[in-house]
């Protein structure tokens, strides 16, 4: 009993320290990534999804308030922005390859962005969602920092947008390779571009780990999609959702 009491005291002390939650988050991701690699990159065990599950289980199991957790792990949230900007480096280093496919890139980004926003808007109307929820859903196909900014700008709920965006990315990253293989798409530039366009940051991370060319085109698609989606979401907001 004495040992149990001491362990409990240590736990109470640790979970009150902000650094503990940062360490827990990184530790969960490293464990998830090790499992992912050990099982030969099995798509349904995406390390982001598994680490979210591990951290969420810990918070629920010990009844930890989300704000307490976020106060300790918010440094990772801060790094989302710089990490996204850093993707410009591989684009710069492979600028000639990107320029050689400029027409396909422009056509792909425009059609992909329009389809993602259009289908989200139509499905939201068909299911009778309120305007705030529609605004929250519209930017789901771009990377989380940009999606949250768009959501806040048009009157959505940024925190919910971030959650939906992560779920979108996880699904795309998990099932993307299976879809490409089924359709017989072997070109790594095309595969990477589709990952970045449909699964934003998480898909781009997966593309980078598989192939350098795929990573470059994934980063290109993700960046351009963020710009186009910001414009289109704002346009839909002013034309249809602005009271």
DSSP letter at 100 equals: T
Q: What angle do CA 182, 186, 189 make, to 5 degrees?
A: 125
DSSP letter at 17 equals: S
The percent of residues above 70 in pLDDT, for the chain, comes to: 91
Whether residue 192 contacts residue 79, with contact meaning beta carbons closer than 8 Å, is answered with no
Q: What angle do CA 212, 215, 216 make, to 5 degrees?
A: 90
| pTM greater than the 0.85 cutoff | no
Q: Above 90 in pLDDT, residue 217?
A: yes
pLDDT band at 10 (very low <50, low <70, confident <90, very high): very low
Instruction: Return the CA Rg of the chain.
Output: 20
Q: What angle do CA 206, 211, 214 make, to 5 degrees?
A: 75
Cα separation, 129 vs 90, in Å, equals 40
pLDDT at 110: 92
DSSP string, 123-169: HHHHTT--HHHHHHHTTTTS-HHHHHHHHHHHT--HHHHHHHHHHHH
Q: Above 90 in pLDDT, residue 162?
A: no
pLDDT band at 105 (very low <50, low <70, confident <90, very high): very high
pLDDT band at 75 (very low <50, low <70, confident <90, very high): confident
- pLDDT tens-digit series, residues 175-203: 888 888 888 988 999 999 999 998 888 88
Whether residue 195 contacts residue 111, with contact meaning beta carbons closer than 8 Å, is answered with no
Q: Above 90 in pLDDT, residue 235?
A: no
pLDDT at 13: 47
Whether residue 35 contacts residue 45, with contact meaning beta carbons closer than 8 Å, is answered with yes
- pLDDT tens-digit series, residues 11-63: 454 555 667 888 888 899 999 989 988 988 777 788 888 898 899 898 888 88
Q: Taking residues 209-227, what's their average pLDDT?
A: 89
């Amino acid at each position: 009993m004495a040992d149990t009491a001491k362990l409990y005291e240590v736990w109470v002390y640790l979970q009150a320290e902000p650094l503990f939650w940062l360490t827990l988050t990184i530790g969960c991701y490293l464990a998830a990534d090790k499992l992912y690699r050990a099982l030969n990159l099995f798509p349904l065990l995406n390390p982001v999804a598994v680490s979210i599950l591990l951290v969420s289980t810990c918070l629920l199991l010990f009844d930890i308030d989300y704000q307490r957790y976020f106060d300790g792990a918010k440094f990772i949230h801060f790094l989302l922005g710089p990490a996204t900007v850093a993707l410009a480096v591989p684009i710069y280093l492979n600028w000639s390859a990107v320029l050689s496919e400029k027409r396909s890139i422009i056509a792909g980004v425009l059609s992909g962005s329009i389809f993602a926003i259009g289908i989200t808007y139509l499905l939201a109307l068909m299911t009778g969602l309120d305007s705030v929820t529609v605004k929250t859903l519209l930017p789901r196909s771009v990377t989380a920092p940009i999606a949250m900014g768009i959501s806040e700008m048009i009157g959505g709920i940024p925190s919910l947008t971030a959650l939906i965006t992560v779920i979108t990315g996880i699904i795309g990253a998990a099932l993307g390779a299976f879809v490409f293989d089924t359709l017989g798409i072997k070109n790594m530039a095309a595969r990477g571009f589709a990952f970045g366009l449909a699964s934003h940051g998480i898909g781009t991370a997966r593309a980078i780990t598989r192939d350098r060319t795929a990573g470059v085109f994934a980063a290109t698609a993700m960046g351009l999609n963020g710009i186009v989606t910001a414009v289109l979401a704002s346009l839909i907001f002013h034309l249809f959702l602005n009271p």
